[in-house]
Protein backbone atom coordinates (compact mmCIF):
# COMPACT_ATOMS: atom_id res chain seq x y z
CA UNK A 1 0.00 0.00 0.00
CA UNK A 2 1.46 3.35 -0.98
CA UNK A 3 0.99 5.39 2.16
CA UNK A 4 1.92 8.74 0.59
CA UNK A 5 -0.42 11.26 2.18
CA UNK A 6 -3.11 8.69 2.95
CA UNK A 7 -5.51 10.24 5.42
CA UNK A 8 -6.65 8.04 8.28
CA UNK A 9 -9.35 9.18 10.68
CA UNK A 10 -8.49 8.19 14.26
CA UNK A 11 -11.41 8.57 16.66
CA UNK A 12 -10.23 8.83 20.26
CA UNK A 13 -6.82 9.73 18.87
CA UNK A 14 -5.84 11.70 21.98
CA UNK A 15 -6.50 8.69 24.22
CA UNK A 16 -4.09 6.06 25.46
CA UNK A 17 -3.98 3.60 22.56
CA UNK A 18 -5.13 6.20 20.02
CA UNK A 19 -2.20 8.55 20.67
CA UNK A 20 0.37 5.77 20.26
CA UNK A 21 -1.34 4.73 17.03
CA UNK A 22 -1.12 8.30 15.73
CA UNK A 23 2.67 8.11 16.25
CA UNK A 24 2.85 4.74 14.48
CA UNK A 25 0.82 6.08 11.54
CA UNK A 26 3.04 9.14 11.09
CA UNK A 27 6.15 6.95 11.28
CA UNK A 28 4.72 4.92 8.39
CA UNK A 29 3.98 7.98 6.25
CA UNK A 30 0.22 8.30 6.84
CA UNK A 31 -1.59 11.52 7.77
CA UNK A 32 -3.76 10.84 10.80
CA UNK A 33 -6.75 13.07 11.49
CA UNK A 34 -7.75 12.96 15.14
CA UNK A 35 -11.37 13.15 16.22
CA UNK A 36 -11.70 13.50 19.97
CA UNK A 37 -14.10 15.27 22.31
CA UNK A 38 -11.47 15.18 25.10
CA UNK A 39 -13.96 13.94 27.67
CA UNK A 40 -11.53 11.23 28.73
CA UNK A 41 -8.30 12.65 27.35
CA UNK A 42 -6.08 15.65 27.70
CA UNK A 43 -5.70 18.37 25.08
CA UNK A 44 -1.99 18.61 25.95
CA UNK A 45 -1.57 15.24 24.25
CA UNK A 46 -1.84 17.00 20.89
CA UNK A 47 1.15 19.21 21.71
CA UNK A 48 3.10 16.25 22.99
CA UNK A 49 2.33 14.32 19.79
CA UNK A 50 3.60 17.26 17.75
CA UNK A 51 6.86 17.16 19.68
CA UNK A 52 7.29 13.40 19.36
CA UNK A 53 6.54 13.34 15.64
CA UNK A 54 7.95 16.75 14.78
CA UNK A 55 4.87 17.41 12.65
CA UNK A 56 1.64 19.32 12.83
CA UNK A 57 -1.23 17.21 14.12
CA UNK A 58 -4.61 17.70 12.50
CA UNK A 59 -7.38 17.33 15.07
CA UNK A 60 -11.04 18.19 15.57
CA UNK A 61 -12.67 18.62 18.96
CA UNK A 62 -15.89 16.88 18.05
CA UNK A 63 -17.95 13.94 19.30
CA UNK A 64 -18.31 10.90 17.05
CA UNK A 65 -22.08 11.23 17.08
CA UNK A 66 -21.94 14.73 15.61
CA UNK A 67 -22.28 13.47 12.03
CA UNK A 68 -23.10 16.93 10.73
CA UNK A 69 -19.67 18.30 11.68
CA UNK A 70 -17.93 15.07 10.78
CA UNK A 71 -19.33 15.22 7.25
CA UNK A 72 -17.44 18.50 6.96
CA UNK A 73 -14.21 16.71 7.95
CA UNK A 74 -14.83 13.95 5.40
CA UNK A 75 -15.52 16.56 2.72
CA UNK A 76 -12.28 18.36 3.57
CA UNK A 77 -9.97 15.30 3.54
CA UNK A 78 -9.98 12.17 1.38
CA UNK A 79 -10.27 9.69 4.27
CA UNK A 80 -9.10 6.21 3.23
CA UNK A 81 -9.35 4.48 6.58
CA UNK A 82 -10.99 4.82 9.96
CA UNK A 83 -9.52 3.51 13.20
CA UNK A 84 -12.33 3.70 15.71
CA UNK A 85 -11.07 3.87 19.32
CA UNK A 86 -13.50 6.35 20.84
CA UNK A 87 -15.55 4.55 23.49
CA UNK A 88 -16.13 4.39 27.21
CA UNK A 89 -14.11 1.54 28.72
CA UNK A 90 -14.45 1.24 32.49
CA UNK A 91 -16.14 -2.00 33.49
CA UNK A 92 -17.29 -0.76 36.93
CA UNK A 93 -18.70 2.49 35.56
CA UNK A 94 -20.58 0.57 32.88
CA UNK A 95 -22.39 -1.38 35.60
CA UNK A 96 -23.56 1.90 37.15
CA UNK A 97 -24.38 3.67 33.89
CA UNK A 98 -25.23 1.05 31.27
CA UNK A 99 -27.34 3.43 29.17
CA UNK A 100 -24.48 5.90 28.91
CA UNK A 101 -22.31 3.04 27.61
CA UNK A 102 -24.93 1.93 25.09
CA UNK A 103 -25.50 5.48 23.92
CA UNK A 104 -21.85 6.40 23.50
CA UNK A 105 -20.34 3.11 22.35
CA UNK A 106 -23.13 2.07 19.96
CA UNK A 107 -24.01 5.63 18.90
CA UNK A 108 -20.41 6.44 17.97
CA UNK A 109 -19.99 3.20 16.07
CA UNK A 110 -23.21 3.72 14.09
CA UNK A 111 -22.13 7.26 13.13
CA UNK A 112 -18.74 6.04 11.98
CA UNK A 113 -20.22 3.21 9.90
CA UNK A 114 -22.69 5.63 8.30
CA UNK A 115 -19.82 7.92 7.36
CA UNK A 116 -17.71 5.01 6.13
CA UNK A 117 -20.58 4.03 3.83
CA UNK A 118 -21.37 7.53 2.58
CA UNK A 119 -17.74 8.41 1.86
CA UNK A 120 -16.76 4.90 0.65
CA UNK A 121 -13.97 4.45 3.17
CA UNK A 122 -12.02 1.30 2.33
CA UNK A 123 -10.69 0.22 5.74
CA UNK A 124 -12.35 0.19 9.12
CA UNK A 125 -10.39 -0.97 12.17
CA UNK A 126 -12.35 -1.49 15.36
CA UNK A 127 -11.04 -1.60 18.96
CA UNK A 128 -12.41 -4.71 20.50
CA UNK A 129 -11.26 -6.46 23.64
CA UNK A 130 -10.48 -9.88 25.05
CA UNK A 131 -13.39 -9.09 27.35
CA UNK A 132 -15.54 -10.72 24.61
CA UNK A 133 -14.20 -14.12 25.76
CA UNK A 134 -15.85 -13.66 29.18
CA UNK A 135 -14.52 -16.29 31.58
CA UNK A 136 -12.90 -18.72 29.13
CA UNK A 137 -13.01 -22.45 29.76
CA UNK A 138 -9.86 -23.06 27.74
CA UNK A 139 -6.74 -20.97 27.47
CA UNK A 140 -5.00 -19.69 25.49
CA UNK A 141 -8.06 -18.31 23.71
CA UNK A 142 -8.13 -18.22 19.93
CA UNK A 143 -10.47 -16.24 17.68
CA UNK A 144 -12.90 -19.17 17.54
CA UNK A 145 -13.23 -19.42 21.33
CA UNK A 146 -16.80 -18.81 22.54
CA UNK A 147 -17.74 -15.19 23.13
CA UNK A 148 -19.87 -13.78 25.93
CA UNK A 149 -19.90 -10.81 28.27
CA UNK A 150 -20.14 -10.07 31.96
CA UNK A 151 -20.65 -6.30 32.02
CA UNK A 152 -22.46 -3.66 29.94
CA UNK A 153 -19.01 -2.61 28.68
CA UNK A 154 -18.29 -6.18 27.51
CA UNK A 155 -21.77 -6.32 25.99
CA UNK A 156 -21.01 -3.18 23.91
CA UNK A 157 -17.82 -4.79 22.54
CA UNK A 158 -19.50 -8.08 21.66
CA UNK A 159 -22.54 -6.43 20.06
CA UNK A 160 -20.37 -3.87 18.23
CA UNK A 161 -18.45 -6.73 16.62
CA UNK A 162 -21.76 -8.25 15.51
CA UNK A 163 -23.04 -4.89 14.24
CA UNK A 164 -19.94 -4.54 12.07
CA UNK A 165 -20.39 -8.11 10.77
CA UNK A 166 -23.97 -7.32 9.72
CA UNK A 167 -23.07 -3.91 8.31
CA UNK A 168 -20.32 -5.10 5.95
CA UNK A 169 -22.74 -7.57 4.36
CA UNK A 170 -24.67 -4.58 3.07
CA UNK A 171 -21.58 -2.52 2.32
CA UNK A 172 -18.73 -4.86 1.28
CA UNK A 173 -16.61 -1.99 -0.01
CA UNK A 174 -15.74 -1.33 3.65
CA UNK A 175 -13.20 -3.95 4.76
CA UNK A 176 -13.32 -4.26 8.53
CA UNK A 177 -10.82 -5.62 11.03
CA UNK A 178 -11.75 -6.32 14.64
CA UNK A 179 -8.77 -6.24 17.00
CA UNK A 180 -9.30 -7.95 20.33
CA UNK A 181 -6.77 -6.36 22.66
CA UNK A 182 -5.50 -8.12 25.72
CA UNK A 183 -4.17 -5.86 28.54
CA UNK A 184 -2.45 -2.77 27.10
CA UNK A 185 0.45 -1.45 29.21
CA UNK A 186 3.51 0.76 28.80
CA UNK A 187 4.19 4.13 27.25
CA UNK A 188 6.03 5.74 24.37
CA UNK A 189 9.81 5.78 24.74
CA UNK A 190 9.76 9.59 25.04
CA UNK A 191 7.86 9.15 28.31
CA UNK A 192 5.45 11.92 27.31
CA UNK A 193 2.38 9.95 26.27
CA UNK A 194 0.93 7.01 28.16
CA UNK A 195 -2.02 5.90 30.21
CA UNK A 196 -3.32 8.92 32.09
CA UNK A 197 -6.38 7.86 34.09
CA UNK A 198 -8.66 10.53 35.47
CA UNK A 199 -8.78 9.98 39.25
CA UNK A 200 -8.23 6.59 40.82
CA UNK A 201 -6.95 4.06 38.27
CA UNK A 202 -8.90 0.86 37.66
CA UNK A 203 -6.08 -0.86 35.83
CA UNK A 204 -3.14 -2.53 37.50
CA UNK A 205 -0.02 -0.83 36.12
CA UNK A 206 -1.22 2.79 36.52
CA UNK A 207 -2.19 1.90 40.09
CA UNK A 208 1.29 0.48 40.68
CA UNK A 209 3.08 3.53 39.25
CA UNK A 210 0.85 5.97 41.16
CA UNK A 211 1.52 4.05 44.37
CA UNK A 212 5.27 4.14 43.77
CA UNK A 213 4.98 7.89 43.06
CA UNK A 214 3.23 8.39 46.42
CA UNK A 215 -0.14 9.38 44.95
CA UNK A 216 -1.75 6.23 46.45
CA UNK A 217 -0.83 4.76 49.83
CA UNK A 218 -0.75 1.16 48.76
CA UNK A 219 -1.88 -1.25 46.08
CA UNK A 220 -4.53 -3.82 46.89
CA UNK A 221 -4.02 -7.13 45.15
CA UNK A 222 -7.50 -8.38 44.39
CA UNK A 223 -7.51 -11.99 45.59
CA UNK A 224 -4.74 -14.40 46.57
CA UNK A 225 -6.59 -17.71 46.43
CA UNK A 226 -7.08 -18.17 42.69
CA UNK A 227 -6.13 -21.53 41.27
CA UNK A 228 -2.88 -20.21 39.74
CA UNK A 229 0.75 -20.90 40.73
CA UNK A 230 0.99 -17.90 43.09
CA UNK A 231 -2.75 -17.47 43.80
CA UNK A 232 -3.13 -14.19 41.85
CA UNK A 233 -4.81 -13.57 38.47
CA UNK A 234 -2.98 -14.01 35.19
CA UNK A 235 -3.27 -11.63 32.22
CA UNK A 236 -1.57 -11.08 28.86
CA UNK A 237 0.06 -7.63 29.11
CA UNK A 238 0.79 -6.17 25.68
CA UNK A 239 3.02 -3.12 25.15
CA UNK A 240 0.94 -0.24 23.76
CA UNK A 241 3.60 0.57 21.14
CA UNK A 242 3.33 -2.98 19.76
CA UNK A 243 -0.44 -2.73 19.91
CA UNK A 244 -0.36 0.55 17.97
CA UNK A 245 1.66 -1.14 15.22
CA UNK A 246 -0.99 -3.85 14.92
CA UNK A 247 -3.44 -1.13 13.81
CA UNK A 248 -1.17 -0.02 10.99
CA UNK A 249 -0.75 -3.66 9.94
CA UNK A 250 -4.55 -4.07 9.97
CA UNK A 251 -4.98 -1.01 7.80
CA UNK A 252 -2.51 -2.30 5.26
CA UNK A 253 -4.00 -5.76 5.19
CA UNK A 254 -7.56 -4.53 4.78
CA UNK A 255 -6.77 -3.79 1.13
CA UNK A 256 -6.83 -7.50 0.40
CA UNK A 257 -9.37 -8.57 2.96
CA UNK A 258 -11.43 -11.32 1.34
CA UNK A 259 -12.95 -12.48 4.66
CA UNK A 260 -14.90 -9.52 5.99
CA UNK A 261 -14.63 -8.66 8.83
CA UNK A 262 -11.39 -10.25 9.99
CA UNK A 263 -10.83 -10.75 13.69
CA UNK A 264 -7.51 -10.97 15.53
CA UNK A 265 -6.26 -11.44 19.04
CA UNK A 266 -3.64 -8.82 19.83
CA UNK A 267 -1.57 -10.03 22.75
CA UNK A 268 1.82 -11.54 23.50
CA UNK A 269 0.67 -15.11 24.11
CA UNK A 270 2.26 -15.04 27.57
CA UNK A 271 0.54 -14.85 30.94
CA UNK A 272 1.86 -12.82 33.88
CA UNK A 273 0.40 -12.83 37.39
CA UNK A 274 -0.31 -9.76 39.52
CA UNK A 275 2.51 -10.73 41.92
CA UNK A 276 4.91 -11.21 39.01
CA UNK A 277 4.03 -7.68 37.84
CA UNK A 278 4.75 -6.27 41.30
CA UNK A 279 8.08 -8.12 41.55
CA UNK A 280 9.10 -7.02 38.06
CA UNK A 281 8.24 -3.41 38.91
CA UNK A 282 10.34 -3.57 42.10
CA UNK A 283 13.28 -5.12 40.28
CA UNK A 284 13.24 -2.61 37.41
CA UNK A 285 12.75 0.54 39.47
CA UNK A 286 14.58 -0.55 42.64
CA UNK A 287 11.58 0.73 44.63
CA UNK A 288 9.68 -1.28 47.17
CA UNK A 289 5.98 -1.25 46.39
CA UNK A 290 3.62 -1.14 49.38
CA UNK A 291 0.83 -3.64 48.79
CA UNK A 292 -1.69 -5.75 50.67
CA UNK A 293 -4.03 -8.53 49.70
CA UNK A 294 -7.75 -7.78 49.51
CA UNK A 295 -10.85 -9.69 48.41
CA UNK A 296 -11.39 -10.71 44.81
CA UNK A 297 -12.79 -7.97 42.57
CA UNK A 298 -16.26 -8.65 41.16
CA UNK A 299 -16.17 -9.81 37.58
CA UNK A 300 -12.44 -10.65 37.52
CA UNK A 301 -11.53 -13.89 35.82
CA UNK A 302 -8.75 -16.18 36.97
CA UNK A 303 -6.66 -16.32 33.85
CA UNK A 304 -6.54 -15.31 30.22
CA UNK A 305 -3.90 -15.08 27.55
CA UNK A 306 -3.94 -15.09 23.78
CA UNK A 307 -3.24 -17.64 21.15
CA UNK A 308 -1.52 -15.35 18.64
CA UNK A 309 -1.02 -17.77 15.72
CA UNK A 310 -3.56 -16.04 13.48
CA UNK A 311 -2.35 -12.48 14.02
CA UNK A 312 1.29 -13.57 13.60
CA UNK A 313 0.56 -15.34 10.33
CA UNK A 314 -2.12 -13.27 8.63
CA UNK A 315 -1.33 -9.79 9.90
CA UNK A 316 2.42 -10.52 9.95
CA UNK A 317 2.48 -8.83 13.32
CA UNK A 318 4.10 -10.04 16.46
CA UNK A 319 4.74 -8.34 19.80
CA UNK A 320 8.37 -7.32 20.17
CA UNK A 321 8.60 -5.41 23.41
CA UNK A 322 9.05 -7.03 26.80
CA UNK A 323 7.05 -6.54 29.95
CA UNK A 324 10.18 -4.97 31.48
CA UNK A 325 10.17 -2.31 28.75
CA UNK A 326 6.47 -1.69 29.40
CA UNK A 327 6.98 -1.28 33.14
CA UNK A 328 10.03 0.92 32.76
CA UNK A 329 8.35 3.24 30.21
CA UNK A 330 5.19 3.49 32.35
CA UNK A 331 7.32 4.52 35.32
CA UNK A 332 9.11 7.17 33.24
CA UNK A 333 5.72 8.46 32.08
CA UNK A 334 4.32 8.55 35.63
CA UNK A 335 7.25 10.71 36.72
CA UNK A 336 6.73 13.01 33.74
CA UNK A 337 3.05 13.47 34.63
CA UNK A 338 3.86 14.17 38.29
CA UNK A 339 6.32 16.92 37.28
CA UNK A 340 3.80 18.38 34.87
CA UNK A 341 1.06 18.51 37.51
CA UNK A 342 3.46 20.11 40.01
CA UNK A 343 4.14 22.89 37.52
CA UNK A 344 0.44 23.41 36.73
C1 LIG B 1 -10.03 -4.67 32.49
C2 LIG B 1 -11.40 -5.04 32.04
C3 LIG B 1 -11.37 -5.36 30.58
C4 LIG B 1 -10.90 -4.14 29.80
C5 LIG B 1 -9.55 -3.73 30.32
C6 LIG B 1 -9.22 -2.39 29.69
C7 LIG B 1 -12.43 -6.06 34.04
C8 LIG B 1 -13.02 -7.29 34.60
N9 LIG B 1 -11.90 -6.17 32.81
O10 LIG B 1 -9.21 -5.81 32.34
O11 LIG B 1 -12.64 -5.70 30.13
O12 LIG B 1 -10.85 -4.42 28.44
O13 LIG B 1 -9.56 -3.56 31.74
O14 LIG B 1 -7.95 -2.00 30.03
O15 LIG B 1 -12.42 -5.05 34.68
N16 LIG B 1 -5.60 -5.70 39.94
C17 LIG B 1 -5.27 -5.66 41.28
N18 LIG B 1 -5.31 -4.46 41.93
C19 LIG B 1 -5.66 -3.30 41.30
C20 LIG B 1 -6.00 -3.34 39.91
C21 LIG B 1 -5.97 -4.57 39.27
O22 LIG B 1 -4.95 -6.67 41.90
O23 LIG B 1 -5.70 -2.24 41.95
C24 LIG B 1 -5.55 -6.99 39.23
C25 LIG B 1 -6.90 -7.45 38.71
O26 LIG B 1 -7.57 -8.22 39.67
C27 LIG B 1 -6.48 -8.25 37.48
C28 LIG B 1 -5.17 -7.60 37.01
O29 LIG B 1 -4.73 -6.82 38.10
O30 LIG B 1 -6.18 -9.56 37.86
C31 LIG B 1 -5.39 -6.70 35.81
O32 LIG B 1 -6.46 -5.80 36.11
P33 LIG B 1 -6.85 -4.59 35.13
O34 LIG B 1 -5.63 -3.84 34.78
O35 LIG B 1 -7.99 -3.87 35.76
O36 LIG B 1 -7.31 -5.31 33.79
P37 LIG B 1 -8.46 -6.41 33.58
O38 LIG B 1 -9.35 -6.52 34.73
O39 LIG B 1 -7.81 -7.66 33.10
Question: Is residue 66 included in any domain, yes or no?
Answer: yes
343 Cα: distance to centroid of ligand 1 (angstroms) = 31
Is residue 212 included in any domain, yes or no? Answer: no
Q: Structural domain of residue 125, as residue ranges?
A: 7-182+239-267
CATH value at residue 52: 3.40.50.720
Domains of the chain: total: 1
Ligand 1 atom 33: residue of nearest CA: 203
Tell me, yes or no, whether 96 lies in a domain: yes
Judge whether 101 lies within some domain.
Answer: yes
Residue 295 falls within a domain, yes or no?
A: no
In a domain, 187, yes or no: no
Contacts 24+ apart (CB under 8 A), 145-154: 150/299, 151/91, 151/94, 151/95, 151/299, 152/94, 152/95, 152/98, 152/101, 152/102, 153/88, 153/89, 153/90, 153/91, 153/93, 153/94, 153/101, 153/105, 154/91, 154/129
Residues with CB under 6 A from ligand 1: 89, 91, 129, 131, 154, 183, 202-204, 207, 219-222, 233, 235, 274, 297, 299-300
Residues labelled as active-site residues: 153
Residue 131 CA, closest ligand 1 atom number: 11
**Per-residue pLDDT tens digits of the chain, which is 344 residues long:** 555 579 999 999 999 999 999 999 999 999 999 999 999 899 999 999 999 999 999 999 999 999 999 999 999 999 999 999 999 999 889 999 999 999 999 999 999 999 999 999 999 999 999 999 999 999 999 999 999 998 999 999 999 999 999 999 999 999 999 999 999 999 999 999 999 998 899 999 999 999 999 999 999 999 999 999 999 999 999 999 999 999 999 998 855 657 999 999 999 999 999 999 999 999 999 999 999 999 999 889 999 999 999 999 999 999 999 999 999 999 999 999 999 988 87
Record the pTM.
0.96
Residue located nearest, by CA, to atom 36 of ligand 1: 203
- Atom 28 of ligand 1 has which residue's CA nearest to it? 204
Q: Whose CA is nearest to atom 38 of ligand 1?
A: 300
Whether 49 maps to a domain, the answer reads: yes
Minimum-distance ligand 1 atom for the alpha carbon of 207: 23
Amino acid sequence: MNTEKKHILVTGGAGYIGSHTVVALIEKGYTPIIIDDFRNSNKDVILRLEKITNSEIIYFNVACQDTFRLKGVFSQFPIEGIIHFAADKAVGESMEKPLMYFDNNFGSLISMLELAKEFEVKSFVFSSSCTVYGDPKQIPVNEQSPVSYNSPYGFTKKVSEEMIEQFVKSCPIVKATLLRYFNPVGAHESGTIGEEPDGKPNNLLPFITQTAAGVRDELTVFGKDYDTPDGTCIRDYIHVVDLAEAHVAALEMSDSNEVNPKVFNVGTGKGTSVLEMIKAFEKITGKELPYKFGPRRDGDIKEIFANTDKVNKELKWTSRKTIEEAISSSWTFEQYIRELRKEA
